[in-house]
Every structure is written in C-alpha cells, then in structure tokens.
A and B are shown apart, each in its own frame.
Chain A
C-alpha cells in the first residue's frame, strides 16, 4: 500500500496544482457549489417547516380527536362531501354522555368581530364559542384570572376569557379581570387572560382571540342551525387509546344520526397525525425536488471536473513520466489525481456552504425560524468528496497507466 510519505506528497501535489490553477479550479467547482447550495437550503427549508409545524401542531393536542364535517386533508372529493350535515350541540352532548374514553369534550365555533374596551379597540379578533373544557384541549394556560366555569358555560353567562394578544392590546397596563369589554357591541365581563400560544404554522396568531360560552355565541353572533361550522374537540384519556376512542366516537355519532349499516360516515374524525402525514408528504416533495436539483448539479459538476482532470493529466504527462522514472507506482499516481479531484470538489462544497450559511441566517430572520442542520453539512461535505473521487477515477486511472517512456517523450 501507500506509505504515509507518499500520501503526504500526493496531498501536497494536489494542493499546489489547485493553487497554480486557482481560477480554473474555482470555475469547475460551480456545479458542486450549486449542488451543495441546493442540498443545504433544502435541508434548511425542511428543518424550518418542521420547527414551525412541531410548535403549531402542539396546539392541536396529540391526544385530541376533532369531530367535524370535513376531514382536514381533502382531495377532489370535497365536492362530494359538501352536502354533509353540520355537527350539532346535541351530538356534542351525546358524546359527552356516552363516550368512555373522553375526558373533556369541547364543541367550538368561531367568527371574527371587533372587541372594545373604553377607547381601546381590537379588530379582526377570532371569537370562539365553547365551554369550560376548551382551554384543556388547546393546552392553553391562564396568565391572569381563570377560565370559563361549567356554570358559566351551561348557564350562558356573558363572560369572556381574552387571548394574550387581546389582553395586551385592551389592557396594556394589566388588570383586565372584572372589567367589561364589548364584543360586536355586546358586553362581556372578563374573567381571565390566556398565556401566550404563538401562531399556527405562521399563518395566524393563536393569541388574537377571545373565548365566550357557546350559548352566548349562538345568542349574539350566529344561530345554532344557521351556518354551521361546529367542531367537537374530544380529549382522550391516553394517546394509546386514540384508535379505540375513534371507533367509539364513530359508533355514537352514527347512532345519533341513525346511519344505516354499511353506509359511509357523513362526518370526519380528525386528529393531529392527519396533518403530520400531510406535512410529511410536503417534506417529501421538497426533498424530492431538492435532491433532483442537487443530483443534476452534482452530475454536471462531476462531468466538468472529470474534464478538467483529463486536461490536468494531459498537461502533466511529462511530470507523470518523471515521477514514474523516479519510482512512483501506479497507485501513487492514481491517488495523486484522486486527491486533486476530491480537493477541488471539497473546495466547491465549502464554497457552497459558505454561500448557504448567510442565506440560512436570512431565512431564519425574515422567513421562518430555522437552522442549517449539522447532518446536512456533513452530508454535503461527504457528497462533494464522493463526487470528487468518482469524477477523478477515470482521469486518474489513465494517468496511472501511462507508459513512462511515452510520458517522458511527451512535449
């Protein structure tokens, strides 16, 4: 095998050769630069979406089933599903009474209204009508006061719990509890303010809302049978019971709706991992596109490097002859050129990373919070090296096989 001395010499030669042809070497790395750039940015994008998704999805609760008219992820079948019956409060009651797995059942319905306190006003606030279980389902904590009580929600009291953002907006100096705010012109007494929840997938804020008893909601903002859109959240005792709980809910609803056996459900039971699956397939698409671009760029880059290496072998034919005359073996010459092509590719990879890094920071600052995953950096470097070895193989082999006499005669 190669001695350490020979390997050191091979590396030295390669670095010298690259330095001597720095312009050419850098230009050839373009394909590798683009390849590494696309693979790292892809990784960064997926990482960012993942992070956004993980924090958002938590607000849905892993142990909560949502009984709704439509499934969260619908394809073309939406058209077929549009005539389904809306869910009703009666059905929510039935679930509450009959389900053995449910620990909390919160029917919820929402609209958008303006909320006012004295001269302060917040527009476009999500008004949610629900019950005492809603906070538990959402994993929301109280920053001030308390949540709706069972008495308040079943007794349809005019009380409200403010989202963090609204609380901040209407009562910048705090002390919201006990004051009366106006929602769409109707008065509600503040009993609590929620802690901060953040945003859902970066789309809308979970803090820009107020929660009132569902009966109050029906009285003032939308009659129970008019428009629909009721969603029944069911918190299950244990995540592991989700499949059984789901079956139980189906049974209860089909019974309440008098569904004939063998017919399709005319409602949907949604859960967090539905979104997770949909999200994962988005991730797969991004990864697919990213890998395609990367592969293409690396392929083109690899061809370019192979070309440059052929030129390098040609230019250095005489040098190869001299080295062989002095006792360099085939493997030594071969490794010399492989090291050179790998070093060029590695250079490209590093340039790619150096460019990708600030882009990642910009994405993190302005688009969505993310970071360049370390694994992607390692992969990028390994892939550049691999491209270098593969594209250098043929030229290096040719160099190694050169006849010393022919090589020495080469002008």
Chain B
C-alpha cells in the first residue's frame, strides 16, 4: 500500500451568511490530515458541520478561509472547472438520499461519471457493468431507481462512486435512510472497499457502525471535539 497524506486541512472555516446580520459558522478553524487508505468515521450531533466538512473535502464547496491540500495540491483556490475535474477523477460520493437520476436505469447512473470523464461507450459499459457486479447488482442493470429497493439503490450509488477508481470515497450517512439489516449490508460493501485499498470517510450517527472504522473524528459546533484511533475494530464481514 502506498501511504502518504491524501487530505490536509489547515485552519479551514466555513461561514454561511443567512442575511446581513446573521452568520452561521458551520466549521471553525478545522485542521486535520487523512492518510491514504485510511477508513475514517465522522460523528457528531445534527447540525454540527459533518456534511459541510464532507462537501469541502469532496471539493463540492470551497472554504471561507484556510488551506486545503488534496494529494499535495492546493485546491482552495481552484476554479469551478478544475474542481469539477477533481470530483470526477478523484472522488466518489455516496449520499444519504442516494441521489440517483430517476429517469435513467442503474447502468446509466453508474456510467455518468465516466461520461463526464469522456470515456468512450464500449469501455464505459464494461466498467459500469463491472462496478455493478462488484456490488452484486449485475442482474439489475436495466432497472430504474424506482424499481429498486432502498438498499439496491444505495448499492447502485456505491457502484457509481467507485466506477472511476477514485482516490477517495465519501459517504455521508449512507445508511441513514435504510433499515438496520440493509444498512449492515451496505457497510459490508464499504468495508470491502476499504480492504481493497480505498480511502474512505464515512459520516454516521451509529456508534456501532463507527467502530468498524480505523479512526473516529467527533465534531461539535463546527469544531473537532476528538480524533481517536479505534482499538477494537469490529468487522461485519466476519459475521
């Protein structure tokens, strides 16, 4: 495994101004580093800034202040198009609400990032099918999202996140909309991804899910409350 720093936050702050008088300090001077191949869980009460942190890490948003180096490159001052390129090539998102395109079938949803990478049709199909197979959905390639269960939808979303072989997979409460059993199935897939060498940052409310990660970062009111390594890691896989 090639180790090294993938993410480096230096005093990153994010402030939303609701109107002229009121400001929300969603993140306040956060500094943190994430190594390659790490599996990090982010926890914290609702509204504490977890999603804001994920959006910044995923280059969906830019910080109000501070320095962000991704893969040794300063991304805090990048243009819109450069950020789009990083999101496309380096990052895979998994959202709580799946965010699949409702009118497209599973295969096309998985193909999307490859389309924006300009990959020709035949190779795209092959890779998308491969990704669907890896999450156990090869027989659902031509189903629309509304023909799939919640767990299946999230698996399509995971396939979509990993199809570009990104440096980093970000999952913001991926089991939040699923029942416990389906959630566990999703977590097994996430864990497998980590074992295959992917860097993963996962937001969760569930303590027992977080304990499968190598490291837990707790956030409160936009600040890091604690950042600990998990000593007795559990693995769902071994059930």
Contact = CB atoms under 8 A, between A and B. Distances in A.
A203 interface: no
Interface stretch (B114-122, B148-156, B202-210, B223-231): B114-122
B87 A327 contact: yes
In the complex, which of the residues A3, A5, A323, A332 has the most CB atoms of chain B within 10 Å of its own CB atom?
A: A5
Contact of A327 (B55, B100, B116, B121): B116
B17 interface: no
A403 B84 CA distance: 12
Given A6-B115, A318-B99, A404-B60, A327 B85 contact: yes
A5 B115 contact: yes
Interface in B151-168: 160
Nearest to A319: B101
A225 B55 CA distance: 103
B113 interface: yes
B61 A405 contact: yes
B199 interface: no
Given A5-B121, A6-B115, A325 B99 contact: yes
Contact of B103 (A5, A6, A20, A325): A20
A45 to B, nearest CB: 44
Interface residues of A, number: 24
A257 interface: no
B89 interface: yes
Given A5-B120, A16-B103, A404-B61, A325 B81 contact: no
Contacts of B119: 5
Contacts of A323: 112, 116
Given A6-B115, A404-B60, A405-B60, A322 B101 contact: yes
B118 A329 contact: no
B81 A327 contact: no
A328 B116 contact: yes
A368 interface: no
Given A326-B88, A326-B160, A6 B118 contact: yes
Nearest to A324: B84
Interface string B72-108: 0000000011001101110001010001110100000
A273 interface: no
Nearest to B102: A319
A408 interface: yes
A20 B60 CA distance: 29
Given A404-B61, A405-B55, A327 B117 contact: yes
A329 B115 contact: no
Interface residues of B, number: 28
B118 A3 contact: yes
Contacts of B112: 9, 323, 326
Nearest to A3: B118
Nearest to B112: A326
Nearest to A326: B113
Nearest to B83: A404
A318 B99 CA distance: 8
Interface in B35-81: 55, 58, 60-61, 80-81
B60 A5 contact: no
Contact of A328 (B84, B95, B121): B84
A169 interface: no
Contacts of B100: 322
B99 A322 contact: yes
Contacts of A325: 58, 60, 87, 93, 99
A408 B98 CA distance: 11
Interface string A229-244: 0000000000000000
B178 to A, nearest CB: 19
B103 A329 contact: no
Interface of B: 55, 58, 60-61, 80-81, 84-85, 87-89, 93, 95, 99-101, 103, 112-113, 115-121, 124, 160
22 contacts: A5-B118, A6-B118, A9-B112, A9-B115, A322-B100, A323-B112, A324-B60, A324-B84, A324-B87, A326-B93, A326-B116, A327-B85, A327-B87, A327-B88, A327-B113, A328-B84, A328-B116, A330-B81, A330-B84, A405-B55, A405-B60, A408-B60
Of all A-B residue pairs in the complex, the 5 with the closest CB atoms, nearest first, are A327-B88, A3-B118, A327-B116, A326-B113, A329-B84
Interface of A: 3-6, 9, 16, 20, 318-319, 321-330, 332, 403-405, 408
